[in-house]
Amino acid sequence: MNIVILSRNENLYSTKRLIEEGENRGHDIEIVDPLKCDIIIEKEKPTIYYQDRYLDYVDAIIPRIGASVTFFGCAVVRQFEMMNVFTIATSDAIIRSRDKLRSFQRLSKAGIGMPKTVFTNYSRDVEEVIAHVGGTPVIIKLLEGTQGLGVVLAETKNAAESVLEAFNGLQARALVQEYIAEANGADIRALVVDGQVVGAMKRQGKEGEFRSNLHRGGHAEIVKLNEAELKVAMNASRALKLPVCGVDMLQSSRGPLLLEVNSTPGLEGIERATHRNIARAIITFIERNRK
């Protein structure tokens, strides 16, 4: 097969591993920078022009699109879809997952547990918003933050008010979320491929840090999920129509609570923590599902 990885950096660990496993299984793998694609819209003949050629020979794509290029990146994915090219993540599913409010609404309707979350367009009602999530401390998240950026722990009402006012002044939309103290700065990342969990790790934030992101100095170790955690991961994948995704959860006194679903999860942390070949699982998923 001719498989295109939509990535702006071929030297990233995840991209290199997908190239390696794809070539090991006899496929032709090509890296395409989505921002350098020309989308050509024509009656009954949608095409993509990249550098010096038309990409009309592609069998499948693997989107590795950063949050900062979501709009145009998803337009490229959508164009490939119009060309009947198989993708491990559709443009609509990526857009849904990048909008935290939209994804929480869908996940809530699907009956998936999550920390109590409030979104308001009126930032002056801070006291009322805090009361809705059970009082301080609270977590305040930008709707489009990634890798722990745009996530703040506000331990008092005054701190929460200051953060919300700052975000509001920047015209940045934010969610206020219940703080799960018993998680102790740790979360679980489950990697789902073809609707099944193929690996899971527990990420622990560095001392004094409530965020567990590995990019922020946290560390990870392999973890075995219980039945409830497996169910949350697979149901979240199904609810957002993302057969390949990373599902982040907190362990709480009332069971696993979903934090986020990542449509382009990194492979480095989870492959090293679990010693599982996640990249190969993604390639074999494409082989099984390409029409």
Rounded to an integer, what distance in angstroms lies between the CA atom of residue 274 and that of residue 272? 6
How high is the pLDDT of residue 212? 53
- Nearest one of 28, 168, 149 to 100, comparing CA atoms: 149
Which residues of the chain fall short of a pLDDT of 70?
Answer: 121-124, 144-149, 205-217, 291
Considering the chain, tell me which residue range(s) the CATH 3.30.1490.20 domain(s) occupy.
117-179
CATH 3.40.50.20 location in the chain: 2-96
pLDDT given at position 124: 63
What is this structure's pTM?
A: 0.87
Q: What is the pLDDT of residue 19?
A: 97
The domain 182-289 is placed in CATH, from the list 3.40.640.10, 3.30.365.10, 3.30.470.20, 2.60.40.10, at 3.30.470.20
For the domain spanning 117-179, the CATH number is 3.30.1490.20
Specify the pLDDT at position 135.
87
- Res 50: pLDDT: 96
Contact 193, 285 (CB under 8 A): yes
How many other C-beta atoms are found inside a 10 Å radius of the C-beta of residue 129?
Answer: 21
- pLDDT score for 78: 97
Residues carrying CATH 3.30.470.20, the chain: 182-289
* Domain 2-96: assigned CATH number: 3.40.50.20
d(CA 202, CA 208): 17
